[in-house]
A and B are shown apart, each in its own frame.
Chain A
């Protein structure tokens, strides 16, 4: 679709008479408010309120008002080894999902950019995980991983590779098992974004490079990748954030078990807030997560500015 690109042309507008302009300006505010007010009240407001809560001892189900306790929550959090363990798991999960997902999606996007039969089927299938509720994706993979009736163990037995195991309950296998699901679930967005980048590469450049005798790898490195780089960076940064903040998938697959091996920070904070009622403490966790994400974004933005972004 060329819809978005069209509008970027410089606006050559006829100057309007003063009165009309003032009227439309007031009209503009009138048009903007219906969306802006709810966003401010139910999104920006709670965000600021949440930061405020992290400095209080707010608890659920308590009648007394919350007291301001300064940085005490953050001090406690600093010594909460369970939280830092879940923070570490969150990082392993985020990187562990994002990197293979990127490589697989890049491969798929390159294939889908070729004239291959069955390409339509792959395109359609690549979208399916996107349309499914995350809870269903979790349920589905539980069926795949099921110890006896699951397709994975059955396939392994058929191939003579052992007797199968309970992947989601094993201390060593649980995290890798949920990472595979994360990779599967996030393939569509990444693939579509990269495909967009590929279709943005001028075909003539490829042909010129081919005429000059450049091999497939050289062409990828000198023609494809430079054009793809900005999109690749954006989608990777977003994926890291999304994955670090993810909840539903792992909640359904393992609920954070076994023994906390897959307890992502969001699961930890959710339990703290809605099982133990520690609103202030959980809000502090949220703040630490925002801080971590901001650092990540800053690093990414710095890298992107340095990279001479041309898109």
Chain B
């Protein structure tokens, strides 16, 4: 479609405004993370650090147990990703291949589960986990994360299963392959990229999660990165900007990398999902 020259110019101006709005907070975070104290204290902060330093990173690791926190986050995220996909795949297969009431109910649950205020769920969960002595434990946290990640994992996986043509499975059955054999040698390989994408998405969700971790983990050494990050912000809102920025920058890198890897699949899935809904 043709657009007039002024129209084009207007479009580019708008696009530029969006680019600035979307990019500048992140650029500022990165810039702050590498600034020496002198530049941080200056009343006229520089955009690009004149004297870039890694001192903030060192100080961040000195002040808070960042390495422990990162390992805790990694454990929570990996555990969630693996368990969620293992549990969700069989159910997603049934939901995709059969039009049952159960499948419809599960789809409804995906929507409804988005609507609860978490506080209504966390209080009973807290009581139950306390009785099971699973407060302050990674097992308890991963259990909560898995259930929390399941609805969306199911929803993604159903799409991926449906993308595997039923005819292929039927052809294998005609050739005399049993049900299990068909699943393992025909369906599973075609499903693999979808499983990976779903696992990575669950990984990022758990890596980024804050509320459950805040409530369920008490001991400082057991806390995850997002919770430990808030310790950099003092009680009276006193903030050591440099180390805070450095720690925040580190905490966001894994999610950004994973998201860059699966971005197309997720937006693709969301695009079709949004259109179909």
Contact = CB atoms under 8 A, between A and B. Distances in A.
A35 B90 contact: yes
A159 B121 CA distance: 48
Interface string A152-187: 001001000000000001000000000000001001
Contacts of A92: none
Contacts of B270: 189, 192-193, 196
Nearest to A155: B24
A276 to B, nearest CB: 13
Contacts of B90: 30-32, 34-35
Given A4-B276, A7-B162, A139 B117 contact: no
A47 B116 contact: yes
Determine which residue in B109, B270, B274 has the highest number of CB atoms from chain A within 10 A of its CB, and name it: B274
B27 to A, nearest CB: 9
Interface in A235-284: 235, 238, 241-242, 244-245, 247-248, 251-252, 255, 257, 265-266, 269-270, 273-274, 279, 282-283
A71 to B, nearest CB: 17
Contacts of B273: 4
A248 B211 contact: yes
B53 to A, nearest CB: 15
A197 B275 contact: yes
B271 A134 contact: no
Nearest to A44: B109
Nearest to B249: A136
A103 interface: no
A47 B29 CA distance: 38
B125 interface: yes
A2 B29 contact: no
Contacts, number: 313
A140 interface: yes
B87 A136 contact: no
A126 B162 CA distance: 29
Interface in A52-73: 53, 58, 60
B163 to A, nearest CB: 3
A1 B114 contact: no
B272 A2 contact: yes
A140 B150 contact: no
Contacts of A146: 239, 241
A132 interface: yes
Contact of A47 (B14, B43, B120, B232): B120
A1 B272 contact: yes
A42 B88 contact: no
B248 A140 contact: yes
B14 A107 contact: yes
Given A143-B28, A196-B274, A114 B244 contact: no
Contact of B123 (A119, A207, A252, A273): A273
B219 to A, nearest CB: 16
Contacts of B152: none
A95 interface: no
Nearest to A181: B25
A4 B162 contact: yes
A75 interface: no
Closest 9 CB pairs between A and B? A286-B120, A7-B162, A3-B163, A131-B259, A31-B90, A196-B271, A133-B208, A49-B124, A1-B268
Given A3-B159, A134-B208, A234-B277, 6 more contacts: A31-B91, A128-B22, A131-B258, A132-B208, A192-B267, A290-B115
22 contacts: A6-B163, A8-B276, A34-B86, A35-B88, A36-B91, A46-B121, A50-B121, A107-B14, A114-B3, A114-B11, A116-B15, A134-B208, A134-B226, A139-B245, A140-B248, A141-B25, A151-B47, A192-B267, A196-B274, A234-B274, A235-B274, A285-B119
Interface of A: 1-8, 11, 24, 27-28, 30-32, 34-36, 38-39, 42-43, 45-47, 49-51, 53, 58, 60, 104, 107-108, 111, 114, 116-119, 121-122, 124-136, 139-144, 146, 148-151, 154, 157, 169, 184, 187, 189, 192-193, 195-197, 199-200, 206-207, 210, 216, 230-231, 234-235, 238, 241-242, 244-245, 247-248, 251-252, 255, 257, 265-266, 269-270, 273-274, 279, 282-283, 285-287, 289-290, 293-294, 297, 311
